[in-house]
Structure formats: C-alpha cells, structure tokens
Structure 1
C-alpha cells in the first residue's frame, strides 16, 4: 500500500513539474518584455541615433537593451542580423 501511495505522489509531482516547464516555455517572450519595463515599445526605426561611427558601433548601440531597438526575447543571431540590416541601410543614406 505504501508503494502505491509513493508512486502516486511521484506521478503528481512529475505532472506538476512538466506543466510548469511547458508554461515557462510559452510565457518566455512575455516575461522578457515585462522585465524590461523601461521599454514600452521596441522599434528599430527609433534608433537612427546609433548610425554614427560605422556599422560595428551601430550594431553595438542597437543591441543595448536600454535603447529599446530590438525585441528582447529574440536570439542574438537574429538581433545581430537585423541590426546590421538597419545600420547598413542608414549609413548608406548618409
């Protein structure tokens, strides 16, 4: 009888952990946005100020979270690619 109760308790704990894990995966972007309360909107177009001293400096500027240029939950590769696209476009116009 004790073994059955123990197995039932393990099953309940395991199910709860799996549910929490699934919930964390689906809420990750939302949590990232809430944590950075300073940025109410993320818009690369507002970051023209970053296009001053070349593409590399522009990319670094856009990647800084306090500038609110890029979505915080996106991957570093995505952010780098988008930053380069915008910076190259802006620096060509100058």
Structure 2
C-alpha cells in the first residue's frame, strides 16, 4: 500500500469559514524564531503502524548541534469515539537517515 493511499482526507477552514480541501498533504512544518526548535505535524506517519497523527519536536543535541533525539505526541483513533494519546521519545538513527 502506498503512503499516498494511507493519507487521511484533510480540509482547512479559513477565518471566514470557507472550507478548503488539502489533497496529498502529509505534514505541516512549524518554524518559530531561531531560538525555538521546529516542530512537525505528521499525518499518517510511515514509521508508525495504523491510522495516527504525530507532533514531533527535536529534544536532544550532540556537541555539533545535530539532533540526537526527538519527542512525539501520537494520536490514534480508539474505540467508541476515543482518541488514544501517547508521549514517546525516540533516538534519531543518524546512519539510517544518511542512507535515505
């Protein structure tokens, strides 16, 4: 199954209430001023199984200011209109990332 077929149907809503379809949107990157770490809202992340959405933020750096760890808040649909929320920390696999 391609990642594209796993993406949820997304719609945006403007301040005046207009609904805008957002086809093929897979993530939103949030960048603040230079002193704050960027965050990424990932829709149907490939590295997680099943339907989910994650907010990922770098949380650790080495001596060369490269990210070594990142934190995630993961939302998954649960039973009976409940959303399961988990908070996870993952070590960044630098070798695997460099091979991509």
TM-score, L = length of structure 2: 0.24
TM-score, L = length of structure 1: 0.25
Higher helix share: 1
Which one has more relative contact order, counting CA pairs under 8 Å at least 6 apart? Answer: 1
